[in-house]
Structure 1
Amino acid sequence: MLEHIVAAGTLYSLYVMEEVSARLGWAWEPREVTPGRRPVMEIAGIDQRLIGWQSTRRQQIEDALSLLVADYEERQGHPPGERAAYALDQQAADRTRPPKRKVPRLLSELRERWRASAIRAFGACTTYRLAQRARAAAAAVWARVRPVVDIALAVVDTVAVLYVMRGAFKRRHLLTEARRHLVYALRGRPHRPGLDEQIVQAAVDDYTRPPARPADG
């Protein structure tokens, strides 16, 4: 059940990224957070101070992860590989997830609190010109990144990442990874409807096999 929730949450976050790009005209760029791990996609042009300003949750995960990795290395005698590191990251996220508020705050209230806090920390100019700078950065990103998707490369990349990270995977994992590839390749530009499903179907046709049927008894 947890695996289904994680996959659904990741896929939803990718939909949100595409919606943000389409509505606001913002682009995405990769940034390495942890050496040796896949980069994360962040909005181009956003001041790094603002990105790290409210990242207490990420820091909690990193602190828990360092303990899990140390325990793994003590038990196994070697650092975790890609697949084990992914599993440890999920464990760290689960252990540090805060309990949900019984009475959620209104979005308007949260936005006012965030805006006021950002202004106190970085000034009104940085805060209020955020959207303008992001659109200017997007124009620069899209000027140097071709809006072309190589289907064959997307399929190979999608399957290779899942094989390394998971070993066995299902169609929903292929769809999530295909959409990750599109975000990386297009940097937020909208893609042709159905392109993600086309990548998934090509991966299924070319690189997977149906599960073995039980022998007749």
Structure 2
Amino acid sequence: MSIRARRPDEAGTWGNLSADSMLTHIVAADTLYTLYFMEEVSARLGWAWEPREVTPGRRPVMEFAGIDQRLIGWQSTRRQQIEDALSVLAAGYEERQGHPPGERAAYALACQAADQTRSPKRTVLLSLSELRERLRASAIAVFGACTVYRLAERARAAAAAVWVRVRPVVDVALAAVDVAAVVYVMRGAFKHHHLLAEARRHLPTPCAAAPTSPAWTNRSSRRPSTTTPARPADR
């Protein structure tokens, strides 16, 4: 992968990406990618999103509405392995330090848990079509053909119910207050990119039916404004 990119100037000059800047904004960039992904899925497939609590006390994650929870957890053995190892590492950290790990320490422990549980690399690589066929056959064997082949239909029906229930409106002033409160509690001292990353995490929740525009997250991370109607996804 090349680190060279075209600058956004009139001349269109080229330069090297700053690794330090990329690392500083990596969380904000990741959440921006997630926003675009959600918007594309909603527009192309007619699916909606809804928040689901994965870890008690932590922020919910956004998942497709109408997808059987058994299917979501079916291929999550890797995640479970990491979580099991992480709980042991976190307990050891708290015993040594006398307090639970903070955000930075928790991230380091999660990386350590991932390294400890990573299986050896495959010697024979599978193509994307081969992986799809293997996953489809495995899912049908576990849950039945009806569950697998009607997945998209059920997701669209669930999305229609979400669109009826959720009013796609963002109160940017309230969102800004929520974002600032979460970042302050989690970090104490913070910078703009921390607010921007949290704003991008926050805004899809009240607008599950219509993923939020990145422009709104920029506004909510700067200062409170007025209520903004969300742009509904193509249906």
Instruction: Tell me the secondary structure at the aligned position of residue 222 of structure 2.
Output: helix
CA change 1:83–1:40 in 2 (3 A) is: same
Instruction: Tell me the secondary structure at the aligned position of residue 133 of structure 2.
Output: helix
1:73 lines up with 2:94 in the alignment: yes
Structure 2 counterpart of 1:124: 145
1:17-56 → structure 2 map (5 Å cutoff):
17-56=38-77
Partner Cα distance (1:111, 1:103) in 2: 16
TM-score of the two chains, using structure 2 as the length reference: 0.73
1:145 lines up with 2:191 in the alignment: no
Asked if the contact 2:32/2:214 (under 8 Å) is kept, the reply is no
Once superposed, what is the RMSD of the aligned Cα atoms? 2.9
Partner Cα distance (1:34, 1:114) in 2: 26
CA change 1:162–1:86 in 2 (3 A) is: farther
Partner Cα distance (1:61, 1:50) in 2: 19
1:1-16 → structure 2 map (5 Å cutoff):
4-16=25-37
Shift of 1:12: 2.1
* Aligned amino acid, residue 188 of structure 2: G
* Aligned amino acid, residue 16 of structure 1: F
Instruction: Tell me the secondary structure at the aligned position of residue 202 of structure 1.
Output: coil
Asked if the contact 2:28/2:194 (under 8 Å) is kept, the reply is yes
* Aligned amino acid, residue 139 of structure 2: A
Shift of 1:6: 4.9
More strand by share: 2
Identity of aligned residues (%): 75
1:60 lines up with 2:113 in the alignment: no
* Aligned amino acid, residue 151 of structure 2: L
Instruction: Tell me the secondary structure at the aligned position of residue 201 of structure 1.
Output: coil
Match of 1:171 among 184, 192, 196: 192
Shift of 1:146: 1.4
TM-score of the two chains, using structure 1 as the length reference: 0.78
Partner Cα distance (1:121, 1:37) in 2: 30
Per-residue CA deviation, residues 8-28 of structure 1 (Å, 9 max, x unaligned), is: 334323322222122112111
Query: What runs of 5+ residues in structure 2 fail to find an aligned partner?
Result: 1-19, 225-235
Asked if the contact 2:89/2:113 (under 8 Å) is kept, the reply is yes
Asked if the contact 1:64/1:96 (under 8 Å) is kept, the reply is yes
CA change 1:4–1:98 in 2 (3 A) is: farther
Partner Cα distance (2:123, 2:221) in 1: 39
CA change 1:171–1:103 in 2 (3 A) is: farther
1:92 lines up with 2:85 in the alignment: no
The 10-residue stretch of structure 1 (8-17 or 181-190) with the greater mean CA deviation from structure 2: 8-17
Partner Cα distance (1:99, 1:188) in 2: 40
The 10-residue stretch of structure 1 (55-64 or 101-110) with the greater mean CA deviation from structure 2: 101-110
Shift of 1:95: 5.1
Match of 2:129 among 84, 108, 118: 108
1:156 lines up with 2:200 in the alignment: no
Partner Cα distance (1:44, 1:181) in 2: 18
Structure 1 counterpart of 2:206: 185
Shift of 1:57: 1.9
Asked if the contact 2:199/2:220 (under 8 Å) is kept, the reply is yes
Shift of 1:122: 0.6
* Aligned amino acid, residue 113 of structure 2: A
Structure 1 counterpart of 2:228: none
